Amino acid sequence: MSAVIETKPTAPPPAASAGTGNRLNPKYLPLAATVSLFMVMATLGSVAYDGFFSAQVFLNLLIDNAFLIVVAVGMSFVILSGGIDLSVGSVIALTTMVSAALVEHHGWSPLVVIPLVLAMGTAFGAFQGLLIERFRLQPFIVTLAGMFLARGLCYLISIDSISITNDFYTQVSQIRIPVWGDASLSISAVIAIVVVLAAIFIAHCTAFGRAVYAVGGSEHSALLMGLPVRRTLIGVYTLSGLCSALAGVIFTFYMLSGYGLHAVGLELDAIAAVVIGGTLLTGGVGYVAGTLFGVLMLGIIQTLISFDGTLSSWWTRIVVGALLFVFCLLQRFFTSRAPSR
């Protein structure tokens, strides 16, 4: 007699488990919310105001906020590591003052001054990072001291604004790069785009970027994994100092002057852009691309208020404050529902 072997069909996986595998990770939801809200505001502006839906209006978001994009990129790495940097606005002001004084009062070449101020900002950030890592000081206090120091150094140079009339600065500030049709970008906007692309590569494709996320998630775990925690902490503040100095150079092109009151409160705008962009203030979760959309969000709010013409510019602060409350609550809600590993 021949044995008959019966084969039973394999049962399909439960529908619930299949849905769980395809569910969007909660850590991406704040970024998705930021991008969606930006698209909604852009659509509403295009419907409500004539001339809003044009290439140049949206490119102006990059042109007018190029310096904020650059400084927010540096702030993103600091916050991803679990820190904070309150000195970025003052470093921008100090960069403009040193540049203006050397170029206008001492006749230095901009080709010497620009690398010099970039090195100065990098060294300033590295010094803060060294104090934070070596002596285990709170980043808030160290960078607050750095904010006062850099702002005070501005007034040692001059208590008045120093106008820049150098041909190099004026020509660079007026250069426009055609994009399509009549739309164009400034040199500063192109620099900001390059910085964002470089930062995305560093954050996701280098050992340094992976170490930043690991340190922000848990510094103790990063140490147990053998990651260079000390170099990483110093590195993020060094990078923030470099980005602040570069933003100061861009700000100099934008304002064509150096002044101790330039960029007052800009550190708060940078932090707001990073948080609205979906980066957790506790560190370890966030994306540089989200920071870009956070800055564009601030810019489109200002643009909508300008097109309206009846609202005070202070409504920008009111809306940004409300958005910060909402996104902080969203982050808390989404992270509490994130699957444990």
Helices vs. strands in the chain: H and E counts, helices first: 15, 4
Looking at the domain assignment, is residue 214 inside a domain?
A: yes
Check: CB of residue 244 under 8 Å from CB of residue 92: yes
- The per-residue pLDDT for 311 is 81
> Which pLDDT belongs to residue 268?
94
Q: What percent of the chain has pLDDT over 70?
A: 90
Q: Calculate what percentage of the chain has a pLDDT beyond 90.
A: 78
What is the DSSP code (8-state) at residue 122? Answer: H
Indicate the average pLDDT of the chain.
90
Mean pLDDT check: name the lowest of 30-44, 61-75, 307-321.
307-321
> How many angstroms separate the CA atoms of 53 and 300, rounded?
12
Q: Which domain holds residue 187?
A: 26-336
Of the listed ranges 31-45, 185-199, 280-294, 312-326, the one predicted with least confidence: 312-326
Say what the pLDDT of residue 182 is.
87
* Chain segment 279-301, per-residue pLDDT in tens: 998 899 999 999 999 999 999 99
Rounded to an integer, the average pLDDT of 78-97 is 97
Does the pLDDT at position 92 exceed 90? yes
pLDDT band at residue 327 under the 50/70/90 scheme:
confident
Could you tell me if residue 296 is inside a domain?
yes
Extract the tokens encoding 39: 């698209």
In a domain, 341, yes or no: no
pLDDT, one tens digit per residue, over 239-280 is 999 999 999 999 999 999 999 999 999 999 999 999 999 999
* Segment 229-235 mean pLDDT: 96
In a domain, 178, yes or no: yes
Residue 173 lies in a domain: yes
Contact present, 276 and 266 (Cβ < 8 Å): no
Q: What is the pLDDT of residue 4?
A: 47
Examine residue 17 and state whether it is found in any structural domain, yes or no: no
Closest by CA position to 91, among listed 133, 127, 131 = 127
Residue 15 falls within a domain, yes or no?
no
Confidence of residue 107 (pLDDT cuts 50, 70, 90): very high
The residue count for the chain:
341
Residue 341 — pLDDT band, cuts 50, 70, 90? very low
pLDDT at 339: 53
CA angle 81/67/304 to nearest 5° reads 105
Q: What is the pLDDT of residue 1?
A: 42
pLDDT at residue 10 is higher than 60: no
| Predicted pLDDT at 189 | 97
Q: Are strands 176-180 and 162-163 parallel, antiparallel or unpaired?
A: unpaired
Q: How many structural domains are present in the chain?
A: 1
CATH number for the domain that contains residue 174 = 1.10.3470
Mean pLDDT of 195-221: 96
Average pLDDT over residues 7-31: 54
- Average pLDDT on 234-242 reads 98
Evaluate whether 65 touches 251 at the Cβ level (below 8 Å): no
pLDDT at 17: 40
Residues 255, 256, 257, 260, CA torsion sign: positive
- Per-residue pLDDT tens digits for 126-137: 999 999 999 999
Q: Are 322 and 267 in contact (CB under 8 A)?
A: no
How far is residue 98's CA from residue 104's CA, in Å, rounded to a whole number? 10
